[in-house]
Amino acid sequence: MDQIMTRAPARPARGGLFLPGILLVAVASGCLGTKDEAHGSDRSAWVAVDLSAYQPPTGEGALEMLASYVMTHPFRNWLHPQEQAASRDDLVTLLEDMGLRVERQPYDDAGPYSETGENILVFVEGRNRPDAWIVLGGHMDVGESDVYGAWDNGAGIASLIELARSGATRTFNHTIVYAFFDQQEPPSGRRGSMAFVEDALGRADLVAAINPDRPALNWPCEDGLVTIGFYQNKIDAGTPGYVELRDAVLRAVDAASVPPEGRESGDLLVATTLADAESFDQVDVPNVYQSSNFRTRVGPSNVPVPFFHTPLDTVEQMEAACGGRELLTQGFQVALDVMAATLAFVDAGLEA
């Protein structure tokens, strides 16, 4: 076993996860098996990943990235092509300055309004199966009525940046792709993720996809819920990999110490159409949608008041909905912990 770092990251006051410990438990329990029959590899070698320099993702880092990125780049949508292009350029510069391997992926399908499209991809090459990809991907653009789009989906983009920074400090068995999708919001409608999937199918074996869309306003935010979306029809049909991915995510939620009252529907949210995750589902790639919700109800109608897809979708509004900056930082930490643990579990043996 490679050396495990001993200094834990900052943790939420009411929970959290030390990811190297999760990997150690997985190894000690023997749950990974010894042989990958489908690929003929000795799976005992898969757990020997290098964690000596691992720097776990932090909620503070994601929140700082959110505040700087969305405030610098409002109007990230097809109505403002120059602003959208500038946001992509600055994202590439930011990621390359972190020492990450970045690929720009323009695509020809420009959509009904002749807007341009370009995904930004970060690759961390796998040591044992570089030809097999695990994708963490969320959309960069905002809705037509948005200005900053902090929750939808600036929070997802900030989380991906922090996860990519962290992921570059360890090794993986599979190649990890951090995908920043263009053109998810209407009227484009998932054109970026569809273009990515079409291209990726010709380049690699897609093992699984994790789609953060509006994360962070979850437990322990006031009335916050961790929302996990699965395709129940694929689970019921026994489509390969779907049950295993669901179980990996629920293990990750447990590892992040999210109590039942902090989970949507107790354990999971069942749905059939889930943003960019649907692009993967259409070709039977196991996928999960990670989001957040809050139960705050106001006024005589006592109904929830979401603020995404409005000009009110700002960092300040996220802090207010969560109960303050400290709680929002912890909400980001929990969302990151769930995604990082899901990635670790899948990388260790979704295909076992």
- What confidence tens digit (pLDDT) does each residue in 29-61 have? 333 333 354 444 444 445 556 677 899 999 999
Q: How far is CA 210 from CA 60, 255, 340, in A?
A: 21, 17, 10
326: pLDDT strictly greater than 70? yes
Percentage of the chain beyond pLDDT 70 is 78
169: pLDDT strictly greater than 50? yes
For 72, the token pair is: 């610098």
230: pLDDT strictly greater than 60? yes
DSSP 109-148: --TTTT---EEEEEEE--SSEEEEEEEEEEE----TT-SS
In contact, 331 and 220? CB cutoff 8 Å = yes
pLDDT of residue 110: 55
pLDDT of residue 108: 79
CA distance 225 to 228: 9
In contact, 192 and 184? CB cutoff 8 Å = yes
Helix (H) or strand (E) holding 211: strand 205-212
Q: How many helices (H) and strands (E) does the chain have?
A: 10, 12
pLDDT of residue 352: 40
CA distance 12 to 348: 25
In contact, 158 and 66? CB cutoff 8 Å = yes
- Beta strand 224-231 with 118-124 is unpaired
- Rounded mean pLDDT of the chain? 82
* 183 against 98, higher pLDDT: 98
**Mean pLDDT, range 326-330, rounded to an integer:** 98
Fold of 19-349: Aminopeptidase (3.40.630)
- Within 13 Å of residue 1, how many CA atoms lie on the same side as its CB? 11
In contact, 300 and 34? CB cutoff 8 Å = no
Q: What is the pLDDT of residues 55-68, one digit of tens each?
A: 999 999 999 999 99
**Mean pLDDT, range 151-164, rounded to an integer:** 97
Q: Where are the domains of the chain?
A: 19-349
State the sign of the Cα–Cα–Cα–Cα dihedral 275, 276, 277, 280: positive
pLDDT of residue 295: 72
pLDDT of residue 251: 94
**Mean pLDDT, range 292-319, rounded to an integer:** 75
| 236-258 residues labelled b (16+ CB within 10 A) or e (exposed) | eeeeebbebbbebbbbbbebbbb
166: pLDDT strictly greater than 50? yes
pLDDT of residue 344: 95
The mean-pLDDT minimum among 15-24, 61-70, 156-165, 235-244 falls in: 15-24
Q: What is the pLDDT of residues 121-146, one digit of tens each?
A: 999 999 999 999 999 999 999 988 89
Place of tokens 């929140």: 63
pLDDT of residue 349: 83
| 93-132 residues labelled b (16+ CB within 10 A) or e (exposed) | ebbeeeebebeebebeeeeeeebebbbbbbbbebebbeeb
pLDDT of residue 310: 86
**Residues 6+ away with beta carbon under 8 Å from 331:** 59, 216, 217, 218, 219, 220, 221, 224, 292, 322
pLDDT of residue 294: 81
DSSP 259-282: -GGGBTTTT-EEES--TTHHHHHT
End-to-end CA distance of the chain: 20
Q: For residue 19, name the pLDDT band (cuts at 50, 70, 90).
A: very low
For residue 66, give the nearest of 144, 157, 197 by alpha carbon. Answer: 157
Helices (H), 208-324: 232-237, 242-255, 277-281, 315-322
Q: What is the pLDDT of residues 89-127, one digit of tens each?
A: 999 999 999 999 999 999 876 555 556 789 999 999 999
324: pLDDT strictly greater than 70? yes
pLDDT of residue 3: 26
pLDDT of residue 155: 97
179: pLDDT strictly greater than 50? yes
pLDDT of residue 226: 94
Q: Hey, is 290 helix, strand or coil?
A: strand
253: pLDDT strictly greater than 70? yes
**Mean pLDDT, range 184-207, rounded to an integer:** 90
**Mean pLDDT, range 159-175, rounded to an integer:** 96
For residue 123, give the nearest of 178, 165, 166, 162 by alpha carbon. Answer: 178
pLDDT of residue 10: 36
* 294 against 248, higher pLDDT: 248
Q: Hey, is 210 helix, strand or coil?
A: strand
Q: Residue 121 corresponds to which amino acid? A: L
